[in-house]
Structure formats: structure tokens, C-alpha cells
Amino acid sequence: MTFVKAYTNDETLEKDVNKLKDNNISSGDIFILSHDDDRTARIVKNTEASGVDYNKKDIGDFEKQGDELREKLRELGVSDADAHEYEEDMDEGKVFLIVKNDTAEGVLS
């Protein structure tokens, strides 16, 4: 199952990433994605989690950043409809936490 949560506050997102790690969820199952590569990199650095910066993953050449972000979301198990909606939310400045672990929702609820 893929757990997805949108954030407008980076500190809250960072706290949630650390909470996931504290609950033995591997950083390999935690992904951060936004329109702003620098913002994503800063969050990753602040959480000291390696490999969660999905903005850096190269999945091919795309004409538009939105197309690339939607494809990255689909690769992580997000439906086409949700990927489109989440990418629009990224246009508005939201950053997304995506976790490929069944216990993530229970940890963060």
C-alpha cells in the first residue's frame, strides 16, 4: 500500500519523517516529492534520511516538470487520477510524503 500525505509546513513534514524512522520504517520506503528541487533537498538533509529525495530520480526526459512528477507518483503506486490531483497541489506549493509501507498510516494518524 502507498501512503501519501501533503504538507505546506516543512517542519511538520520533517517531524513526520523522523517519526516514521523512529518506528522502524526504512528510509528506502520514504519518498519526498515537490515542484521545488531545493526545498525537497533541504527537507531530506534536515531529516538525515538518505535516498528519499525522489526529485533527483531520473526517469527519462519530459517536456514539462508536471509530466515528470505525475510519472514519478505513478511509479510509487499512486493512481493516475490521484497523481494528476497531487501534481496540481504541488503547483500550489505543497510537498508530498509518499511511504511504501503498510504501517505508515497508523504511525502518522
- Average pLDDT per 10 consecutive residues for the chain, totaling 109 residues: 94 95 91 87 80 57 80 89 94 92 93
**Could you tell me the strand order of the sheet in which 3-7 lies?**
3-7, 95-99, 30-33
Cβ atoms < 10 Å from Cβ of 67: 12
Res 99: pLDDT = 92
> What is the distance between the alpha carbons of residues 61 and 11, in angstroms, rounded to a whole number?
32
65 DSSP 8-state letter = H
The residue length of the chain stands at 109
Specify the amino acid at residue 5.
Answer: K
Single pTM value for the model: 0.85
Res 96: pLDDT = 92
